[in-house]
Structure 1
Amino acid sequence: MIKIKFLPFVLFLLMGSTPTAIKAQKRNDSDNQKSVSLQVKPKLVVGLVVDQMRYDYLTRFWDHFGDGGFKRLANEGFNCKNNHFNYAPTYTGPGHASVYTGTTPSVHGVIGNDWYDKESGTSVYCAGDMTYASVGTTSDAGKMSPHRMNTTTITDELRLHTQMRGKVIAISLKDRGAVLPGGHTANGAYWLQGGDEGNWISSTYYMDKLPKWVTDFNASNIVEAYKKPWNTLKDISSYMESGADDNVYEGTFKGESASTFPHDLPTLWDANGKFTLLKSTPFGNSITTDFALSALDGEDLGKDDITDFLAVSFSSTDYVGHMYGVDSKEVQDTYMRLDMDLERLLKALDKKVGKGEYTVFLTSDHGANEVPAYLKDQKIPAGYVQVGVMQGKLNEFVEYTFGTNDLIKNISNNQIFLDHGVIKGLDLNLEKVQQTIAHELLGYEGVERTYTAYQMWQNEYRQGIPYILQNGYNQKRSGDVLLVLKPATVQYSITGSTHGSTYPYDTHVPLLFYGKGIKKGSTSAKTEIPDIAPTIASLLGISYPNGATGQPIVEVLD
């Protein structure tokens, strides 16, 4: 009875307050909507790729870094500590393409630095294009374009989103380190021509002649000034994070009797390609930084409200790593000097673009292995394989088994390419031939496992080595049988480091985000290289590259 008596009063209160509550809620919703930002608009995005940088270089050399380079990016930005390539082979061309397309070779098509082209029956280079001419040199070094990359890049999408008003400039000592990040629509891509020249060059794909700021740079004495001895930045006795300076695991320049500091570049100049020699020293990274700073001014990057993009690849780290190996004092000195170049670049961005007005990401195109000869001396399983010996043995098996030595057309990038015409003419079953050869190769020294193209076609792998191989497998371009060598087993010289495998020493690389729109923090959750481009696209509020398979790293975005 009491409930019935008070029910009308309660209903009156509820009904009377409902319109007010609804209006208040609408106002709150409206305010919330106004505070939501659909995009962040930095004046400039800077993409940094450090060639052959393992993740543990960041931690190993940390105490030698200053506060303004790697430490600034990591401490004030976001550090993805467990970042990996999710495909193989892990090479420079596929690495740069994957960073900027947000996908893997299975989609973007850059399956190696070079690969056997099944249509032409010849080896092709990832950035080579003889339909264009060189700009800035009379050599063929400028005959390049991104035409073998099948998808758009984050740089392409920025250009499209801004109706081609946002500028994209790409810079690297290596042509592929500039051409692939620049995408199909870059305003300019530049790389260093060595030999007698020492000049930054380009291709008619981008321009008919070099801009004045580039010709001015080439005419200056900036590059020539690095023709000087290379000694350690600090007292070499403080380089405790590296092995002995004098050891048998390192290569030497022509004319050197030992791989020890100092390296007298003026004396070694003529025998080692003249300006090409600088690429295999940390001075190559400094030259790259010098040129990037000139590009900021010459192209007026980050000077208006339309976002521009500067893609810079530091290649000397790769050249030094290949020659001296990951435990060398030369590698340590190169990263300590690179840290100073990064600080120089960031300070220039603060001044020219404005602190808080630009966004940076830093990653690598692949890692590198410990020198197998060194590991063997430490009683760790490791080794070398000789491709010629393997190929000779395989040819004998194929001729004995199938009655012909014309079955194999090419062996490259740990893949066997078969002649499908011969297989059809002999009325053989392609799947069975692939399987037979794969089983044979399993018995060869240094081979850990094999897979066939048929397996790549018929299965969808979700994890492990098959997943990594499948992401690197392109149906139109890849081979018939895929090899995986044992851990720490390589096809390389007994000195220096290399890369290309499915293993963590090649896949685990840094990923740092910094600047406008980026949270401060870190994560140990696994991230993958194809996630970079979607993360930047989400930040900018633009379309993902059209072949993107990665996902934005939501923890990074502010």
Structure 2
Amino acid sequence: MRFLLALLVVLSFTSCKAQDKVLIDDNKPNNISINTQPKLVVGIVVDQMRYDYITRFYAKYGEGGFKRLINDGFNCKNNHYNYVPTYTGPGHASVYTGTTPKYHGIIANNWYNKFTKETVYCAGDKSVTAVGSDTNRERMSPHRMKTTTFADENRLFTQMKGKTIGISIKDRGAILPAGHSANAAYWFRGKTEGNFITSTYYMSNLPKWVKDFNTSNTAESYIKVWNTLYDISTYTESGTDLNAFEAGFKGKETAVFPYDLAALKDNNAGFDIIKATPYGNSIVTDFAIAAIDGEQLGQDFITDVLAVSFSSTDYIGHNFGVNSKEIQDTYLRLDKDLERLFKALDTKVGAGEYTVFLTSDHGAVEVPAYLKSNKIPSGYFDRKGFRKKLDSFMFKTFKASNLIENISNSQIFLNKENLASSNIKIEEVQKALVKELINYKDIDKVYASSTFQEADFTKGVEMLLQNGYNQKRSGDIILVNDPAVISYPKTGSTHGSSLNYDTHVPLLFYGKGVKKGSTYLRTEITDIAPTISALLGISFPNGATGGVLDFVID
């Protein structure tokens, strides 16, 4: 008995000492980091980059660009857009907000505003004016985007001490990623100017470093001959240089190398010709490196964000098509520009001190005429014939005129006032249109808007359409074309569909806080912003619907 009592005393004393030790340990400074804080996050969006541009051209890439991200970072090989339409404005907004047009509201590049009865531009803002140009056209801001970006959340988290700079050839490629609270967004004004500009949404005068860049004659230096980077005979991953599927430039009879930009400039909107060559990506790289210095990005331990969009890939894809020698040369040159950017980051911010992600805003379809020549189903949508047939049906069925107000972005907007004055119920018209239009050539699916308000789809094209449908901004009837059927000229490529050639895009992570590896698990474009937010330990963008890719974070 005495032994048991003694044992209980010893155990009690040991337990108390153990508890004391835990309490003492808990009161020690906790040096465990709960988030990764790179000095700089660099978000890279390559406009119109299909996933297979990584694999098709891989053997021709150097070691310091795409391959550096792939081999030393994390490659999400099955990454997709989870909505349609797959356009530039919605794509850039979705990458940085972590949600879809259903919530962030950027439903297209341009869309019909059914309240003001006008077509609006995703970055257009009449309340501001251009800075750095006298033009009245560059009146831009992010005010139409309804939700925050992870860059906004980083600004809030750091008490506005962490900077955000957006850069692109395209205004929307700079403005939407940078978010509402950005220090600046800069885009390229071509025409007779050849300068990077901004708007009064951000500032009243350009900083000295931007003015210095604009007066450095950098744009002029790219008005030169565009020839292939390597011997064109080695470009075996693309089609023949001379073919019937490419548009080319005004003033040149054939779309073949080389292209003398000085000779072509005046017939192709002046400095705008740079946008449609790989040199557009090069000048964006030049400007991004200048911004790192000019804004002192990544020079302290408060995280900054640099959003860079390479848009020349899109202009070239639209012009020449995804199977062209021009596209291959553009990506081989972009690879060199990426290497140059990464080396500058190593030097100026520090190797291992920054985090990068690279993705795209959409893919692109092979030129349908080329597909058809290879017996693959494809075609071109006859918009004029469609509208004429539709108007005839509407008048014959409802005995009234002007019941359709607008057709754009594969959506039909009904004229509510005329329907009401004719005592026609909108539900009746929607039902009739769905039944009629499904029979039209090149139309694959037709839905009434009520379908996406009354049901919850979790797979298939219906889910993608629902994620792209915004109740306040979208139309009354949603149309889906047959695969590889586009509304576009018969040369060059375009995008916008729910097919894999448009939705499957790269997603590469690299740098501080990122594991090395790859996955074939499906990831979605809306996962990027929550993943970067988790890595930084900040709030998710306020409308984010994507998930954290925890297998990417180290």
| TM-score between both structures, scaled by the size of structure 1 | 0.96
In structure 1, the partner of 2:483 is 487
What are the Cα deviations for residues 415-468 of structure 1, in whole angstroms up to 9, with x where unaligned? 000012222233323222112112211111111111110101000111110000
What are the Cα deviations for residues 9-29 of structure 1, in whole angstroms up to 9, with x where unaligned? 986776565445555666788
Amino acid at match of 1:96: H
What are the Cα deviations for residues 476-503 of structure 1, in whole angstroms up to 9, with x where unaligned? 0000000111111111111110000011
Q: How does 1:23-102 map to 2 (within 5 A)?
A: 34=30, 36-102=32-98
In structure 2, the partner of 1:367 is 363
In structure 1, the partner of 2:375 is 379
Runs of 5+ unmatched residues, structure 1: none
Task: Pick one of 183, 198, 202 that aligns with 2:198.
Answer: 202
Alignment of 1:443 onto 2:439: yes
In structure 1, the partner of 2:454 is 458
Alignment of 1:470 onto 2:466: yes
- Counterpart of 2:307 in 1: which secondary structure? strand
1:141 and 1:193 in contact (8 A); partners too: no
Distance 2:80 2:433 in 1: 31
How far is 1:7 from its partner? 8.0
In structure 2, the partner of 1:120 is 116
1:60 to 1:440, Cα distance in 2 relative to 1, 3 A: same
Distance 2:87 2:130 in 1: 25
What are the Cα deviations for residues 291-324 of structure 1, in whole angstroms up to 9, with x where unaligned? 0011011111111111111111000000000011
In structure 2, the partner of 1:542 is 538
How far is 1:34 from its partner? 3.4
Runs of 5+ unmatched residues, structure 2: none
Amino acid at match of 1:291: F
In structure 2, the partner of 1:313 is 309
- Counterpart of 2:181 in 1: which secondary structure? coil
What RMSD in Å do the two structures reach over aligned CA positions? 1.8
In structure 1, the partner of 2:103 is 107
Pairs aligned (count): 554
Distance 1:446 1:28 in 2: 70
Distance 1:464 1:35 in 2: 47
- Counterpart of 1:195 in 2: which secondary structure? coil
Task: Pick one of 514, 517, 531 that aligns with 2:513.
Answer: 517
In structure 1, the partner of 2:291 is 295
Amino acid at match of 1:510: P
1:10 to 1:488, Cα distance in 2 relative to 1, 3 A: farther
Distance 1:405 1:35 in 2: 73
In structure 1, the partner of 2:344 is 348
| TM-score between both structures, scaled by the size of structure 2 | 0.97
In structure 1, the partner of 2:325 is 329
What are the Cα deviations for residues 191-226 of structure 1, in whole angstroms up to 9, with x where unaligned? 111111101111011110111111111101211111
Distance 1:36 1:435 in 2: 60
In structure 1, the partner of 2:273 is 277
Alignment of 1:220 onto 2:216: yes
In structure 2, the partner of 1:338 is 334
Distance 1:5 1:26 in 2: 32
In structure 2, the partner of 1:528 is 524
Task: Pick one of 415, 424, 429 that aligns with 1:428.
Answer: 424
Task: Pick one of 159, 176, 179 that aligns with 1:180.
Answer: 176
In structure 2, the partner of 1:163 is 159
How far is 1:37 from its partner? 2.1
In structure 1, the partner of 2:235 is 239
- Counterpart of 2:502 in 1: which secondary structure? helix
In structure 2, the partner of 1:412 is 408
1:78 and 1:518 in contact (8 A); partners too: yes
- Counterpart of 1:150 in 2: which secondary structure? coil
Moved more, 333-342 or 429-438: 429-438
- Counterpart of 2:446 in 1: which secondary structure? strand
Amino acid at match of 2:90: P
How far is 1:235 from its partner? 0.7
2:371 and 2:377 in contact (8 A); partners too: yes
Amino acid at match of 1:377: S
- Counterpart of 2:225 in 1: which secondary structure? coil
Distance 1:10 1:374 in 2: 88
What are the Cα deviations for residues 338-383 of structure 1, in whole angstroms up to 9, with x where unaligned? 0000000000000000111111111100000011111111111111
Distance 2:231 2:222 in 1: 21
Amino acid at match of 1:416: I
How far is 1:265 from its partner? 1.2
In structure 2, the partner of 1:398 is 394
What are the Cα deviations for residues 256-291 of structure 1, in whole angstroms up to 9, with x where unaligned? 111111112111111111210010000000000000
- Counterpart of 1:526 in 2: which secondary structure? strand
- Counterpart of 2:137 in 1: which secondary structure? helix
2:168 and 2:174 in contact (8 A); partners too: yes
Task: Pick one of 490, 493, 499 that aligns with 2:495.
Answer: 499
Amino acid at match of 2:127: T
Alignment of 1:139 onto 2:135: yes
Distance 2:199 2:93 in 1: 19
Distance 2:397 2:499 in 1: 33
1:132 and 1:203 in contact (8 A); partners too: yes
Distance 1:10 1:429 in 2: 87
Distance 2:361 2:7 in 1: 68
In structure 2, the partner of 1:211 is 207
2:400 and 2:422 in contact (8 A); partners too: no
In structure 1, the partner of 2:253 is 257
What are the Cα deviations for residues 213-259 of structure 1, in whole angstroms up to 9, with x where unaligned? 11111101211111111110011111111011111111110111111
1:196 and 1:275 in contact (8 A); partners too: yes
Identity of aligned residues (%): 59
Distance 2:498 2:178 in 1: 27
Distance 2:491 2:16 in 1: 79
Distance 1:36 1:332 in 2: 46
Amino acid at match of 1:370: E
- Counterpart of 2:551 in 1: which secondary structure? helix
- Counterpart of 1:237 in 2: which secondary structure? helix
What are the Cα deviations for residues 164-185 of structure 1, in whole angstroms up to 9, with x where unaligned? 1111110000011111111111
Distance 2:423 2:40 in 1: 59
Distance 1:404 1:109 in 2: 33
Distance 1:64 1:13 in 2: 73
- Counterpart of 2:493 in 1: which secondary structure? coil
